[in-house]
Amino acid sequence: MNAPTPGGAGLLRCCDASGCRAAGSGALLKALTAARGAAPLPVAAVRPVGCLRLCGRGPLVAWDGPAGTRLYGGVPPALAPALIAETGAAASPGPDPLAAHRLDPNHPFFRLQCSVVLEGCGQVDPEAIDQALAHGSYVQWRRCLLELSPEAVRQQVRRSGLRGRGGAGYPTGLKWDTVALQPPGPRYVVCNADEGDPGAFMDRCVLEGDPHRLIEGMAIAAHAVGAERGYIYVRAEYPLAIARLRRALQQAGQRGLLGQALLGTDRELRISVRVGAGAYVCGEETALLASIQGRRGSPRPRPPFPAQTGLWGAPTLINNVETLAAIPVILREGGDWYAAMGTAGSRGTKVFALSGAVCHTGVVEVPMGTSLRTIVETMGGGVPDGGALKAVQTGGPSGGCIPADLLDTPVDYEELKALGSIMGSGGMVVIDAAMAMPELARHFIRFNVQESCGKCLPCRAGTVQLEQLLDRFVERRAVPEDLERLEQLCRMVAATSLCGLGQSAPQPVLSTLRHFLHDYQAGCGAPAGEARP
Amino acid sequence: MFPSPPAPDVRTDALIQGLVRRQGGRAGALIEVLHQVQEHIGHLPPSALRQVARGLQLPLSHVYGVASFYHLFQLEAPSTHRCAVCLGTACFVRGSMELVQRLQVRLGVRLDDPDGGGGWVLQGISCLGACGLGPLLLLDGVLVAGRPLASPELLEARFKGLGLPLPRRDQP
């Protein structure tokens, strides 16, 4: 955490990201600024910052004072004067008006976090480039321009063992090498910020909280593969992220960090934002490229991979937000430093968005290899009101459910895959005992029915058939043969669909069939008082 | 799909020409242009699509194909009031479907019925990423604070503010 600013009463950091804004942080921020103006004593400065992690208790405020950092949650604007007064010298007598809002910064939810990608998130004002610079942003980008060769950069990324954080886990260094080693000619860098998995909001946290880090990571990637043009493809549902990115790009351009003749060299780099229009399939890389070029977001078969033939036919590097945001720190500390965290196959840290039936909802960044139990029970506090945990869903509509008795599984690409789920982009939804699995599976299949682009038959029609089969289980009118049909259809859709959306669409069904077969068996047989047709 | 000849609308025409020019007339900027046109006129009527096609020198079929592909582009004029429930997984686990059931009864419209009824439309929307506050409900784009399932009276107050008549007595 930051040291308190010297000579004052420290710094009040008020979360100004979407989650807390929805809980009223806009009004709180105004009230804090007003209360500060009216306060007589030397009191803390007020700074709007990005995500402070515990989104479920928003609006959140952190005070870096002489006695360390204190945290407050669910603060109504009416308490702004009390909060400002607390940062002053005089302790107010009488009952503590903030008692109900104090959070323990030593709670495992905060204590077990390992902020690497999110190190600036919640510290800097995302709209002020000076703060980002003071926090070390663009130092590595300068090094790239002045001293580091593209090969040296790629070597560090290879050593770090970083794998794609969008979900598939492809080795980042290998992807960069593939693009860099294409025949000479123009090439592009694309950041996939089309974070569409329901229950996933990690990337938004970076985009809204520390956009300069992403831009720096992207600039470094462009250097490493020899690109002079970049696009950030953001989903339209993130208006605040779009506004902050655009502002950050403009600021970086004004400081000569983007544009032409960078730092007096002959190098140039231009990055623009492209806004999606509400199509989940655009998170698939070939669909995303089509969308950037102004077309329908329909995927195409691979190969050729975008690394060979991407935007306008040129080699194109596509990385997810979290992957690119990890790059500056990897260059700063070295690839080996990053590789020392995590497990043999999954290095570094991973950001998860913890939500659903869990006490502490929010964003957590932990080293790879941390067990699901640590994340969900120790950090997340388990199911509210002492309810029973049934499963943890990872990977969104492409992922699966890990049952409660396997919670000691570490988060690791291969371990999660072995259990029929995936790491995914980082959505982690806790399911309690009240949920019947066929219903949850149908929820995901319906999502895929809605989002299927319609290009290939297995996905377009197969998901509809799956939904109808699942209806029978949810309404308890399935017959035992339906189980076999369901599984068969799942395998067919997975094996024959064109892109990742269709190939992984049956995953929520398959994984719940595997771990919660009894829920499906309970869906067989006529309901009381109603005959089967 | 495009039955009548375009009604000449000088104002929209000039607006769209300006938006196209600002994007340098590049065909690749089609999605950006559609976003901006929708922002200005609220939806994408056939006449606007024709003008965009002309401005970017693209076939109308291509422009219509793109506009109809993406969920956020609205080809029909929006209804007066929009009630949107987040159907993301976290909200689903916290009872968003129960909320939908109640709202269908209260508003007298079905989920995702484009015609709506009485000026109201009820939509399911994808995850907004404010999962800590779920199930999320947006009334005319404004988040309903507090848990709408747990505090129906708060929700009722908002409906009243938007001019929705009280439910009939014989309704459940």
**A273: three-class secondary structure by DSSP:** strand
Q: Is residue A37 part of a domain?
A: yes
Mean pLDDT of A192-200: 91
Whether residue B25 lies within 8 A of chain A, CB to CB, comes out as: no
Reported ipTM: the value is 0.89
In sign, the C-alpha dihedral spanning B89, B95, B101, B106 is negative
| Contact across the interface for B69 and A393, Cβ inside 8 Å | no
Q: Do A249 and A210 fall within a single domain?
A: yes
Q: Where are the beta strands (DSSP E) in A421-462?
A: 427-432
Least CB-CB distance to A291: which of B31, B89, B134?
B31
Mean pLDDT of A332-349: 97
**Residue A229 pLDDT class (50, 70, 90 cuts):** very high
The average confidence (pLDDT) of chain A is: 94
What is the assigned CATH class of domain B10-69?
A: mainly alpha
Least CB-CB distance to B133: which of A22, A199, A430?
A22
pLDDT averages per 10-residue partition of chain B, 172 residues: 53 88 89 94 94 95 96 88 88 89 88 75 82 84 71 79 68 44
Stronger pLDDT, B84 or A528, i.e. the higher one: B84
Nearest-CA distance from A280 to chain B in Å? 9
In CATH, B81-161 is 3.40.30.10: yes
The pLDDT, as a whole number, for residue A193 is 97
- Closest alpha carbon to A80 in A57, A46, A127: A46
Q: Which residue type does A87 have?
A: T
For A123-146, how does the pLDDT look when each residue is reduced to its tens digit (9 = 90+)?
Answer: 999 999 999 999 999 999 999 999
Mean pLDDT of A374-401: 95
Q: What's the distance, CA B167 to chain centroid?
A: 25
pLDDT at A160 over 80: yes
Q: How far is CA A467 from CA A132, A167, A197, B91, in A?
A: 48, 25, 19, 20
The pLDDT, as a whole number, for residue B77 is 86
**Residue A516 pLDDT class (50, 70, 90 cuts):** very high
Residue B77, classified by CB atoms within 10 Å of its CB into exposed (0-12), middle (13-18) or buried (19+), is exposed
Residues of chain B found within 8 Å of residue A396, distances taken between Cβ atoms? 89
Q: Is residue A35 part of a domain?
A: yes
Of A405, A432, A459, which marks where a domain is finished? A432
Nearest-CA distance from B169 to chain A in Å? 30
Q: How far is CA A410 from CA A107, A354, A368, A515, in A?
A: 21, 16, 8, 18
Q: What's phi and psi for A108, nearest 5 deg?
A: -50, -30
Q: Do A325 and A195 fall within a single domain?
A: yes
The pLDDT, as a whole number, for residue A321 is 98
Q: Is residue A121 part of a domain?
A: no
The pLDDT, as a whole number, for residue A4 is 41
The pLDDT, as a whole number, for residue A95 is 86
β-sheet bridge partners, residue A403: A391
The pLDDT, as a whole number, for residue A6 is 40
| Contact across the interface for B90 and A22, Cβ inside 8 Å | no
Q: Is residue A222 part of a domain?
A: yes
Least CB-CB distance to B89: which of A195, A298, A429?
A429
Least CB-CB distance to B90: which of A204, A429, A435?
A429
**Residue A445 pLDDT class (50, 70, 90 cuts):** very high
The pLDDT, as a whole number, for residue B67 is 97
- Cβ contacts below 8 Å, chain A against chain B, sum to 138
Whether residue B141 lies within 8 A of chain A, CB to CB, comes out as: no
| Domain count along chain A | 4
Q: Which of A311, A352, A355 to mutate to test the interface with B (most CBs of B within 10 A)?
A: A355
For A477-514, how does the pLDDT look when each residue is reduced to its tens digit (9 = 90+)?
Answer: 999 999 999 999 999 999 999 999 999 999 999 999 99
User: For residue A186, what are the contacts with CB-CB under 8 A and spacing of at least 6?
Assistant: A227, A228, A229, A314
Q: Do A302 and A215 fall within a single domain?
A: yes
Structure tokens at A457: 């038959």
Q: Which of A295, A421, A445 to mutate to test the interface with B (most CBs of B within 10 A)?
A: A295
The pLDDT, as a whole number, for residue A2 is 42
Q: Which residue type does A391 have?
A: A
CATH 3.40.30.10 residue ranges in chain B?
A: 81-161
Least CB-CB distance to A393: which of B26, B28, B89?
B89
Domain that holds residue A468: 437-521
pTM of the entire structure? 0.93
Q: Which of A76-90, A158-172, A400-414 has the lowest mean pLDDT?
A: A76-90
| Contact across the interface for A18 and B29, Cβ inside 8 Å | no
d(CA A391, CA A512): 10
CB A204 within 8 A of CB A237: no
